[in-house]
Amino acid sequence: MMNLVGMGIFARVAEAKGFSAAARKLGISKSVVSKEVSKLEKSLGARLLNRTTRQLSLTEVGAAFYDHCARIVQEAEEAALLVDRLHAKPRGVLKCTAPVAFATLHVGAALPDFLAQYPEVQVDMTVGDRFFDLADEGFDLAIRIARELPPNIVARKLAPINRVVCATPEYFEKHGVPAVPQDLARHNCIVYTHANPDSLWRFRSPEGDIAVLVRGNLRLNDDEVIWRAVLGGLGISLLPTFAVGKDLQSGRLHAVLTEYTPSERNLYAMYLPNRHLSAKVRVFIDFLLERYQAPAYWDRGWSTLSASAAGQAREGAQRQDKAAVATKAGSRGRDKAP
């Protein structure tokens, strides 16, 4: 087995160009340094250093051997630093960015819990939908919704971003429930132009990809305004479940066509490919992973509305209405009887 201690000492001697200087740097005696180098040379069967009374220099073998020793010493130091960082207490300023809608609905609500767990961390968050350059703008971390990952970035998937076609129960009662994506062409579709500038809603099915050109009387570049318009009963839209999850759970909105999956996007925590991840960034990513673990809380507790179920419900309601009318008419007839 190689004498790793001797290799480290030899590397310091070569860098300091002397036993005395290396001993001072290592905090050990000159005699120990000399003894370890001699022991290493003996085990290798080769002379590594040219020793004179005035100077010390590397032999040809010593120069080649030093290159390997220096790399081993560097790797050992980095390994020790990694362990130290992993066990270090998270502290300092965490500079990060997140998209507007997701930050408003979910990140903001999570930050008090995170900061309570890690009181020595301060979060400096920039909320915005533009693409932030992590290196140029000095961000530790970016929370992003993406279909494809940018180059030269490390990404941890936090959660899938599911989208659903949805509208109010009153809208579906009045205009019917689409059974297949192509039925959307007959509905008043509210288009989010930031995601679908061409007004094409794309879906995946076992039969292949489907693209439907939708139309409506409202096009917007803000998904929160679309959400409010949908809640107002104006029309039908394709919205992320993280934005409408509570409304689906409460019944204020109904989801349809969920068997046709819109093109996939995911929520990622992205950071630069540094060799070591700081404790503050690592614990924030772990915190978000636990909080948004699949199925995310906004994707639980709601079901889809099928066209057949809606039709049956509508027929049942119509039968109840007819029965109520008949009962009322019968009651009036009895009242008029002598």
CATH number at residue 240: 3.40.190.290
**Claim to verify: residue 135 and residue 109 sit in the same structural domain:** yes
**Claim to verify: residue 155 and residue 171 sit in the same structural domain:** no
Distance of alpha carbon 258 from alpha carbon 261, whole angstroms: 6
Distance of alpha carbon 58 from alpha carbon 45, whole angstroms: 15
| Last residue within a domain, chosen from 87, 120, 151 | 87
**Claim to verify: residue 227 and residue 134 sit in the same structural domain:** no
Model pLDDT for residues 129-154, shown as the tens digit of each residue: 888 888 888 899 999 999 888 888 89
**Claim to verify: residue 212 and residue 234 sit in the same structural domain:** yes
**Claim to verify: residue 157 and residue 272 sit in the same structural domain:** yes
Residue 74 clears pLDDT 90, i.e. is over it = no
Burial code (b: 16+ CB inside 10 Å, e: under 16) for 315-333 equals eeeeeeeeeeeeeeeeeee
* Backbone conformation region of residue 129, classed left if phi is above 0, alpha if psi is from -120 to 50, else beta: alpha
* Residue 194 pLDDT grade (very low, low, confident, very high; cuts 50, 70, 90): confident
Count of CB atoms within 10 A of residue 307's CB? 16
**Claim to verify: residue 287 and residue 144 sit in the same structural domain:** yes
Amino acid in position 32? V
Examine residue 258 and state whether it is found in any structural domain, yes or no: yes
**Across residues 225-244, what is the average pLDDT?**
95
pLDDT of residue 87: 64
**Across residues 163-185, what is the average pLDDT?**
95
pTM of the model: 0.66
How many domains are there within the chain?
Answer: 3
282: domain CATH number? 3.40.190.10
| Last residue within a domain, chosen from 50, 72, 87 | 87
**Claim to verify: residue 284 and residue 245 sit in the same structural domain:** no
7: its two tokens: 């290799």
Model pLDDT for residues 112-127, shown as the tens digit of each residue: 999 999 999 999 999 9
* Backbone conformation region of residue 134, classed left if phi is above 0, alpha if psi is from -120 to 50, else beta: alpha
15: domain CATH number? 1.10.10.10
**Claim to verify: residue 10 and residue 73 sit in the same structural domain:** yes
Integer-rounded Cα radius of gyration of the chain: 34
**pLDDT above 90: percentage of residues in the chain:** 59
213 versus 148: which is more confidently predicted? Answer: 213
Examine residue 248 and state whether it is found in any structural domain, yes or no: yes
Structural domain including 27 reads 4-87
271 Cα distance to chain centroid = 10
Let me know the angle formed at the C-alpha of 322 by 319 and 327, rounded to the nearest 5 degrees. 125
**Across residues 265-286, what is the average pLDDT?**
88
**Claim to verify: residue 81 and residue 156 sit in the same structural domain:** no
| Last residue within a domain, chosen from 29, 63, 87 | 87
